[in-house]
Structures are given as C-alpha cells and as structure tokens.
Amino acid sequence: MTSSLVELLDGTLCATNEQHRQQCEHQVMHLLHQPDTTFACDLCSFLLSTNIDHSYRQFACILLRRYIRAHWSTALSDENIDHTLSTIPAFTLTPAYKEQVKNALVQIVKHALPQFTDSKSQTALCLILSSILEAEAQESNEIPWKELMEHVVFLFCNAIASDSTPEARLVTDFVTRFLALILEHFSGFHCIGISELLFPHLHQAFTRSEPSIISIASRCRIVQVVQQLLISIEMEAQVGNLSAKQVIDRYLLPWCQEFAKELHYVRPNQYFAIQIRIVSCLTTFIREGFEFVTQFLAELYRPMLLTLQVALPNFELRVVCSQSEEANELESDFSELQDVDTEDTQLGTIPFVMACIEFIQMILSASTKQTREWICASLYDLWKTLIPYLVITEKQQSLWKDVPEEYLADEEDASPTYTIRHAAMDLLNEIQSVIGAHAGGRNSTHIVTTIIKVAKLYLHQSVSEVSPELLWRRQEASLLLLGSLVITEDADGLIQHIETFQESLSIDVFFSQIGHLISDSQQHPLLRGRALWCASHFACAMSCELLEKYLEICISCMDMAHFLPIRLNAYRAISHFLCAALNTRNEAERDQIYALATHALQRLCVLMNQTSDEWVHIADGSVKIAQIKGIRIDPHIAGSVLEVFLSQWIQHLNDPVFSELLLSVTTAFLETRNISTLNVVHEKLIIPMQSSLRSYTPDDTTKSCTAASLALDLLQSMLRHSFVYFYRLNKHENVDTSVEKLGCQLIHHLLDLLIKVMEVTDDERMLHTGAECLKWLVVFSPQALAQHSCMDPVSGRAYSAVERIVQLTEKLLTPSMSDASALNVGGLLTQLLSKCSEMEDSQSRSLLSPNVVRGMLLAVSLRLTTAELPSLIQALCMVFARLIITHGKGFLDELERLPAPQCLPGAKYESDVIPRPKNLLEFVFRFWIEKQLDFYGVNCLKVTLSALLQILEWRDPRVMQLVVHGNEIESLNCTLTQGDTQRRSRRLQARSTPCGASIAPKPIHFGTKLVIVLANTLTQLDEEDEGEWESSDEEAIDSTDQASAGKNARETPESTKYRLVFDPWLNGNEDVAQDEEALNCLLDSSQQMSIGLIVSTVQRFMQDPIVMNSVGSELSITDQKMVTAMLQRSC
C-alpha cells in the first residue's frame, strides 16, 4: 500500500483541488478509526522507505502516533479520543498486531534513523515510541519494551565510542531526545533499573564535548535526563526503597562533581545553554530536598560567580551598549532547547544570571543554619558581581525615550517583563526576610554593611576606571540596590539600623552629595531620578536641614521642564520627605512644613491640568501628601485638588483607577479633622454625587452604574469620617454643631435620590453600600431625617423619611434578595429604632407607627428563616434586641400578637418535643437563643446580652417556659475538648463554616438555655486567648492593655473588656473610620455591659429555689461546672 499511501498523504498535504483534499482527509480519518486494517504497519513501512520528503515523514509520524494513542490501550484512548464523535468505533489492537507494529518500529530505529535528520522528524518518531512505552509502563514493573531500550543503548554506546562522524552526532541527538521524552512516563521503580543501564553511558557522552560527536543541545538533554532520573529515584528512596537509596548514594556525588567542572570551564564570549541547564537542575535538586547539594554549595557557587565575571565584558558590549535587536534578545527560549539544530542558536548571559539568582533564592527558601551563614559570608562577592548586570541597557533606555509609558510601568512594577533588576530586588528582599535584615535579625548588621560597602564601591568609580556610558549606569544600579535595602514603609527598621548606616555611610554627607547630583543638569536624567528615589527611602533618617533642602529640590523638580524620570520620582518622593519633616518637628515648628505641603499640592494641581500622560502618577503623589498623618491642608487648596480629580473622573467613568484615586483623596481630606476642609469636601462633592445618582438607570450602560456606585462610596466615606469627627469633637454630647449640619445638607440633597436608586437597582454592592449610607444618615442627623419628607415616585404620595426607609428595608429583606444585599439592613434598622426611640422620648410624639413596626418585625423574622451568613443572622437578631431595650416588656406583647413566619429554617421544630412556634414571640426567642453563642463582635455582644439580661430580670413565663434545643452533642469525628479549643471554635465556626455533624440535642427550657449561654459568654470573656480577642474585635487595643484587662477581669469586673476596647476609640487613639467594630461601639456608647452585671443578674435569678431546681435538672455535667463557677464569682 506504499504507493497508495503516498498518494493519500500527497492529496491531504498538497492537493490544490479542495474537493480532492477533503476526500483524502476523510479517507485518512476512516483509516485511523477502522479496525482490522493494516494502516499502522503500512505507515511503518512508509517510514522505512528512503528519499521521502521531510513533511511527508513528519505527517506519517503524526498519524501513526494518533493511531497508537487511540487504539493501543484503554488508558491511552480514554485520554485522547474525542467522545463527541459518536460515530468513531472504539477498539483496542490485538497483541499480535501490537507486536507487528513494535517490530516494525524497532526496524526503523535500526535501519532508517539516518532518514530522520531534522529535529522535528526525530521528535515525531520519539513521540510514537514514547506513547507505546507509556502504555506498557503502566502494565509492568519491569523495564518496558526491552528490545527497543537495549538497542537504543547499543546505538548510543557505539556513537560515543566512534570517531567524529555525522552519523554519531545524529544518533546522540536522537537518543538524548528519546530519553528526555520517555522518562516522565516511568515510575521511580522503573527509573532504578534504567539509571543503572544508562548512567555510565550518559556520563561518558557528557564528558565528550566535541561538537562533531555530541551537540550542545544533546548535552543539555543529558542534564535533563539525569535530573529526571535522580528525582524519581529520590522519591522512591524517601518511601524506604533501599535500592533507590543506594543508587542515589552511588551517582549523585559524581554527577554534581561533573556539573561543577562544567561550571568551572568558562570561555569568554561563549553562550550558556549548558550552564543554565546545570544551574536549573541544581535548583530543582534543592527544591526536591536533596540535602547533599546544599552541602556542596561552595563548589557550585564559586564557578557560577566566576562565569558571570568572565562574561561581563561581552555582556556590556553586546547587551548594555548595543541597540541591535539580536544583541538584546535571549536568543532562544530554554524550553525549546531540545529542538535546537545548530550550535549558533544558544542562550546568552541574561538567562544565566536569572538562573543563578533563582538558584540562590531556592537555597534561601530551603535554608538551614549552615546555608544562611554561608550566604551571609558570600554576600559581598554576590552583589559585587551582580550590580554590573543590573544596569539599564541602551535598548531599554531608547524604548523608554520613545514610549514613556514603558518607563512608568517599569518604575511602578507594572511591567509584564521580568528582568534581571526585578529578580535581583526580589532576591534582596528574600535575603532580608530570611537571613534577618529587617529590624534586628542576628545577621542584619552584616547584611546592611555589606550592601552599603558594595554600593559605595561602584558609586565612587570614576571615568578613569570605566567608560562614562557604563559609569552612570552602574551608579544608577547601586542607588537602586541601596534604596531597595530600606523599603519606605519600614521606617522603624531604618531607625533601628541608623547606627549601622552612620558607621558605613554618613547619611548627611552622602545625601548632600546626592542632592548636588540631582541638581546637576549635566548628569543623566535616569541617574538623577534614581538618586531622588533613593534619597526618599532614607528620609526618616535625615536631619531637619537636609529634609528642607530635599523638599525644595522635590518641588523644583515637579516641573515639565525636567525630564520624565526626574518628575516621576519627585511626585513619589515629596510625601516621604514631608512625612519625615513633620515627625522631626514639634507642633510649633510645623507651620513651614504645612506651607511646603500646600505649595507642593498647588504645583501638582497645575501639572495635572497641563498633562494627561502622567496624570495618574501626579494624582497619586497628591493623594500620598493628603494621607500624611497630621498634615494640614489649606481648605481652598483641597477644593482645587478635588475639582481636578472630579474633572478627570467624569472623563474616565469606566476606569476604576480614577474612581479609586478620587475616593482616596476624598477620604484623606476628610481625615484631616478640620471643619473648614469638611465643609469644602461636602460642597465640592454633593452636586456631582447628586448628578450621578439622578442619572442612574439599572438598564443603562456600565458608565451610569459606575458613576452611581462611586457616588455611594463617596457618600459612605463622607458620612463615616464626619460622624467620627462629630463624636470626638463633642465627646458624645448631642449638641447642634456645624458638623451635624453637614448631615442635614446631605439628607436634603441626596436622601431621595439614594432611596430611589436602591429601589430600582439589583446590584449587591450598591445595595450593601447604600444601606450603610442610610444607617449613617440616621445616626448623623436623626432630627433632620425625622423632619424630612420623601415623595414616592410611583404613587406620588408623600411619606416621612423614616417610613420610606422602612419600606426600602422590606424590599432588601425579601427572601429573594441575597444575603450580601441585606447584610447592612440589620444595622440600619437597629439605629433607626434607637434614634426614633430617643427622639420620641424628647418630643413626646411617635415617629414609627405600630403598623410600621409590625411590618418591620414580620420582614425581619421572615428573612431569618432563609439567612445563611452568620453576620446577617446576628444583625437581624440585634433588631429584636434593640426593641427590647427601647420598648421594654410591652414589646413581648406585640410579638405574641404577631404570627410566626410560615417558612421555617429546616425542619428543626417539626417534632413532638419541640412543637412549631404558635406566634412570633416563640419563633424569635427560640431562634435567637440557639444562635447567641455564635455571635461575635463587641457591639453585638453588648446589645444582645443587655436585652437577654432584661429578659432574665422579667422572668416572663411566655419566654422562660419555651422549649428549645440544648447544647449540641458533637459527633465523634468533630468532638471538641473542653477549654480554649471549645470556646474558640464556636466563634470561628460562626464566622466561616456551617455547623458540623452533630447528634440531636436534648430539649430544655429557655431559662436554662439562657443561663448556659451567659455562663459560656463569661468563659469566653474570661479565658479566651488574647490574640483571638484582638482578632475578633478588630485589634482594638494593644497587647499590653489586653493582657492587663484579662488579668484584672475578676478583681474589677466593672472595668470590662468592652469598656477598655471602647475608650481608645473615643479618645482618638485608633483609626475609627476604617474600623467597623469601633464605629459600632461609638454608636452604642451609652450601652454599658460588664461581667459583674451578668453575674449579679444570674445570681438574682437563681436565688429562687424553684428556678434553681428546674435549671439544675436540665444542665449537663459540663454546663453545671460552668454555671457553678459563674454563681461563685463575686460581683
């Protein structure tokens, strides 16, 4: 069939007639999936033929491989057959036919290998053989297809032993490519036998470096084969295979020694394909846990550095100072190295440097005391060698000049390209974190001293030592390294190392010289920009005089007359110098710094109006100035900045970067705690927010939704910060101030639009943010809210603002809405009830009619039946708790009159012992008490426990005699031990996980359950781990105060953790506006709660002998211990 097969392949590949080509393709597909044909054997015979074009040979190999993978075994066919083609018959070749094919393939390897001269044909043939070996390796622990393997090894031995011939090189290329492809299919057990067979011959081949015998690509593949074999065998050794351990002991050391020799053998101007493969192999060995390699580090590390040093002149000539495309390319991707046909295409210096850096990073990630000490001792040589490789190349410089956006992306670490500079900075950071350069590690002083010493070496070079083109580049790289040593956010670490810096680098003298360099227009702009960047990292260690000088330099550099690198670094550096200058002066001396900050913002405003390409970077610099803690911004300048930001945001509504910048600068101005600035922010933003909300339509484009969403974010930020300022200014005295009037303005201009948007939108994020905005409006200006009336756009009827908000909450609480949309509704209703109650007491008039309250209660209870998020459940339960606190015992009567929701969660109540609730009172208290122990957060516990203590005081039989579920009895696979584990797990489970498997709990009365809940709560407060408490309550107080609070809790119960957590927020010691828990505590500042109050209330309740007997009879042994401990405490 050879002639017909040739015609068929020719028609498929070369037919000019479309119909004929389709017919040939169809016939080929038919033969591929037709049982009882000789198609595979025909293809093998075709491959044995001589004088066949490469394309036909490659196509025949592809067809044969596809045929084998489809029909050789079930394992291969299951992975590769297209199951969508139901007409393709599934079958497996018979053993006899398999033998025919295997024998034919062996004949090809024996007699037709010279026909496979190109890499693609060789790879195609190897893939055929690999497929068969993959299938047979799964069926036997012996080395599969021994005849082929033995013949391949025979060919390899003959090629190595022969004189230089093209045939020998062809064989070594084929064998190494074959081995590299097949080993991934073999288990570690297979690899033990294969390694014994191959290693001696591979070693002999690797040491013969004559290009006429073995190509560089083949030598690289030998390294790959050795790596694969040793890793597979090491995995076997780790599971206890003694034979595998013996192989590792016998071969690992010789191969590492051979690799080290290859690294020693360095010639100038050579490429580094083999060196890269060796270093990558060693890196993999360390990653896989080969302990010997780390002991062999010195012998491997020294030749790496030597290779880099020898290659430097060629790198500087061909890469740094050349703009030719070829000189700057990496020549060939390493993953394609297996298919390299000639020695002219190899890998250059850059990937070798990257491989060396990755090697050292891997040593750090698997570091031991020995390796850390070794790296510490070799730091000087490492960075002395690396810095010349970190320089800016001529090509990169030219690209930055033509495309400034590339420079901006590189400087902001937003470039998709990962260069040597990026890798080196990552390595420096890893050295700092692992070996201890940050804040007082054992080797930190040595690391800092070494880096400074290396940087000074290159900074002090002169044109007599190196050419001017290389001099400024090396100086720039040295400043990059020096600045990266001290990240800007690590001011404490810099201060702790200040003595080390002063000993190695006189900061004032050195940065005075750097200041002159920045101001010298003869210096290269990239060097001047880097010098300013580096100086800003050391700002917190500079003297007052030096800081003033740099502030003036920064402001002068923020001018379009300067080059982009200088301007960009001035935008980024000015905030660092201002922050450091403020910290070095007392309050009386800060006016000059405030004036400089104002002047800088004015200059940035001008620049933002002049340019669009750099606008984001200029704006980011403005935001960082506004965010400086304690800065004072002139309100008029703040208004000008906001106008510029608003203008750009309106032009780029769909760009989240502009939205984020506007939100950031607004928040920063609000945090200045200046009433004039607050007024300006409100004045500038109300109209744009009003316009954004008015133009919102849910079916409109993304542009409309984005604008409205940001308007809600801005409103949320304004309300949060204004509220915090108001409370701190008045220390919780509800007096009318100019700050409170801002809330009235917001209600007047935005409340109607806000409600309208929330009524028509289904966007979860907008509903979530909008509900929080309504909550803050209720808190911020309750009087104005009570007097405001809203028009219903559908009915045209006027409602009070309170009624409209309640109507909106009913929509948000419908079961069809997601938990995320309803998450803030509980807090909104809680505050609405609280504020309305306060105003009703003072004004003697009702703001919430009974029908409105009833509708609210029914909506909340119905939503409880479907709520899944623990945070939503506790927020809704807080609504009932607040009503108990504000309305007293009469609220129970109201609950009793309302029906229970029809849709109950699960089927928990459908039993004879715990009947279905007859009214809302039974439903609410059963549901609440069973969830109480899952509640978290200081404010939630304060409110809910206060309400439950009132219930305990009232002893209302309608509540106390309710039958509820007792504590769940955990199943064996999730049983918790008594103590911290049990107490901690409840709260963490409530936050993140659903309830675990459990056995149905025993029914008990509500009063007993409440006593158990209170006892558990006291245990949590008294014995919970400090770190857990701080985590639960947003790290409100420092560890010292927390430890003190825990220690003295029993001695002075009135000094509770609740109160201690609250006080620092009130006094302005914490960033309240960013802390949800802190804000909630501020909202309920009048609500007091203490351990002593809980204990005394329970003790009074249990004084009744009848109650004592009733409760005691229902307590488990564990509960009895907790309740007894609680009753024995002193108040």
In which band, very low, low, confident or very high, does the pLDDT at 603 lie, cut at 50, 70 and 90? Answer: very high
Q: What pLDDT sits at residue 595?
A: 92
pLDDT tens figures, 554-576: 999 999 989 999 999 999 999 99
Between 197-211, 489-503, 965-979, the lowest mean confidence (pLDDT) is in 965-979
More confident residue, 271 or 1110: 1110
Which helix (H) or strand (E) covers residue 182, if one does? helix 166-182
- Would 512 be classed as within a structural domain? yes
Is pLDDT above 90 for 1089?
no
Is pLDDT above 80 for 492?
no
Mean of the pLDDT values across residues 63-92?
69
Are 1028 and 1057 in a shared domain? yes
Of the candidates 73, 61, 55, the one whose C-alpha atom is nearest the C-alpha of residue 13 is 55
Is pLDDT above 80 for 130?
yes
Q: 158, 170 in Cβ contact below 8 A? A: no
Q: What pLDDT sits at residue 410?
A: 83
Is pLDDT above 50 for 49?
yes
Q: What pLDDT sits at residue 15?
A: 67
Are 605 and 500 in a shared domain? no
pLDDT tens figures, 1047-1056: 333 333 333 4
- Would 54 be classed as within a structural domain? no
Residues 6+ apart with CB under 8 A from 1042: 1026, 1029, 1030, 1057, 1060
Are 592 and 567 in a shared domain? yes
Mean of the pLDDT values across residues 285-290?
86
Residue 601 to residue 276: CA distance in whole angstroms:
50
Burial class (CB within 10 angstroms; exposed 0-12, middle 13-18, buried 19+) of 676: middle
- Would 892 be classed as within a structural domain? no
Is pLDDT above 70 for 125?
yes
Residue 1049 to residue 576: CA distance in whole angstroms:
43
HSE-CB for 1131 with a 13 A CA cutoff:
10
- Would 528 be classed as within a structural domain? yes
- Would 622 be classed as within a structural domain? yes
- Would 362 be classed as within a structural domain? no
Q: 410, 425 in Cβ contact below 8 A? A: no
867 to each of 819, 875, 905, how far by Cα in Å? 6, 11, 9
Is pLDDT above 90 for 429?
no
Among the candidates 505, 538, 561, a domain finishes at 505
Are 461 and 595 in a shared domain? no
- Would you put residue 466 in left (φ > 0), alpha (ψ -120 to 50) or beta? beta
pLDDT tens figures, 346-358: 467 888 899 999 9
Are 481 and 516 in a shared domain? no
Residue 926 to residue 917: CA distance in whole angstroms:
9
Mean of the pLDDT values across residues 686-702?
86
Q: What pLDDT sits at residue 1001?
A: 73
Q: What 3-state DSSP class applies to 617?
A: helix
In which band, very low, low, confident or very high, does the pLDDT at 476 lie, cut at 50, 70 and 90? Answer: very high
Which residue's structure tokens are 């500038």?
684
Structure tokens at 766: 């907008």
Instruction: Look at the chain and report how many structural domains it folds into.
Output: 3
Residue 1014 to residue 948: CA distance in whole angstroms:
9
633 to each of 628, 680, 719, how far by Cα in Å? 10, 11, 20
Handedness of CA 239, 244, 246, 250 (dihedral sign): negative
- Would 681 be classed as within a structural domain? no
332 to each of 262, 313, 349, 769, 880, how far by Cα in Å? 21, 21, 12, 52, 70
Residues 6+ apart with CB under 8 A from 155: 109, 113, 171, 174, 175
Mean of the pLDDT values across residues 140-158?
86
Among the candidates 459, 482, 505, a domain finishes at 505
Q: 122, 173 in Cβ contact below 8 A? A: yes
Are 499 and 552 in a shared domain? no
Are 486 and 567 in a shared domain? no
Are 521 and 533 in a shared domain? yes
Q: What is the largest CA-CA distance in the chain?
A: 111
In which band, very low, low, confident or very high, does the pLDDT at 75 lie, cut at 50, 70 and 90? Answer: low
Among the candidates 505, 529, 552, a domain finishes at 505
- Would you put residue 208 in left (φ > 0), alpha (ψ -120 to 50) or beta? beta
CATH number at residue 522: 1.25.10
The separation between CA 503 and the C-alpha centre of its own chain, rounded to angstroms, equals 39
- Tell me the residue range of the domain where 1115 lies: 944-1127
The alpha carbon torsion through 145, 151, 154, 155 (nearest 10 deg) reads -130
Q: What 3-state DSSP class applies to 799?
A: strand
Q: What pLDDT sits at residue 333?
A: 39
pLDDT tens figures, 934-961: 998 888 888 899 999 999 999 999 999 9
Are 498 and 519 in a shared domain? no
More confident residue, 315 or 163: 315
Q: What 3-state DSSP class applies to 731?
A: coil
Q: What pLDDT sits at residue 266?
A: 64
Q: Are strands 789-791 and 963-965 parallel, antiparallel or unpaired?
A: unpaired
Q: What pLDDT sits at residue 529?
A: 94
Are 484 and 556 in a shared domain? no
Quote the DSSP letter at residue 387.
G
Between 35-39, 293-297, 310-314, 716-720, the lowest mean confidence (pLDDT) is in 293-297
Q: What pLDDT sits at residue 188?
A: 84
- Would 561 be classed as within a structural domain? yes
More confident residue, 581 or 73: 581
Is pLDDT above 50 for 712?
yes
Residues 6+ apart with CB under 8 A from 995: 968, 989
In which band, very low, low, confident or very high, does the pLDDT at 1019 lie, cut at 50, 70 and 90? Answer: confident
Full DSSP string of 549-609: HHHHHHHHH-STTS-HHHHHHHHHHHHHHHHHHHHTS-GGG-HHHHHHHHHHHHHHHHHHH
User: Residue type at 912?
Assistant: D
The separation between CA 796 and the C-alpha centre of its own chain, rounded to angstroms, equals 49
In which band, very low, low, confident or very high, does the pLDDT at 1033 lie, cut at 50, 70 and 90? Answer: very low
In which band, very low, low, confident or very high, does the pLDDT at 852 lie, cut at 50, 70 and 90? Answer: confident
Structure tokens at 916: 């279905």
Q: What pLDDT sits at residue 1026?
A: 39
Which residue's structure tokens are 């938990």?
819
Handedness of CA 677, 683, 687, 689 (dihedral sign): positive
Q: What pLDDT sits at residue 607?
A: 93
Q: 1024, 988 in Cβ contact below 8 A? A: no
Between 256-265, 331-340, 787-796, 799-808, the lowest mean confidence (pLDDT) is in 331-340
In which band, very low, low, confident or very high, does the pLDDT at 495 lie, cut at 50, 70 and 90? Answer: low
User: Residue type at 625?
Assistant: I
pLDDT tens figures, 915-939: 889 999 999 999 999 999 999 888 8
More confident residue, 402 or 244: 244
Residues 6+ apart with CB under 8 A from 675: 725, 738, 739
Q: What 3-state DSSP class applies to 35?
A: coil
User: Residue type at 679?
Assistant: N
Are 962 and 1111 in a shared domain? yes
Of the candidates 2, 103, 84, the one whose C-alpha atom is nearest the C-alpha of residue 43 is 2
- Which range of 397-411, 454-468, 715-729 scores highest in mean pLDDT? It is 454-468
pLDDT tens figures, 962-997: 999 887 654 334 333 444 444 444 444 444 444 444
Q: 881, 946 in Cβ contact below 8 A? A: yes
Q: What pLDDT sits at residue 88?
A: 55
Quote the mean pLDDT of the chain.
Answer: 81
Of the candidates 352, 365, 360, 219, the one whose C-alpha atom is nearest the C-alpha of residue 288 is 365
Alpha helices in 239-318 (DSSP H): 242-264, 273-287, 291-295, 297-315
Are 964 and 984 in a shared domain? yes
User: Residue type at 226?
Assistant: V
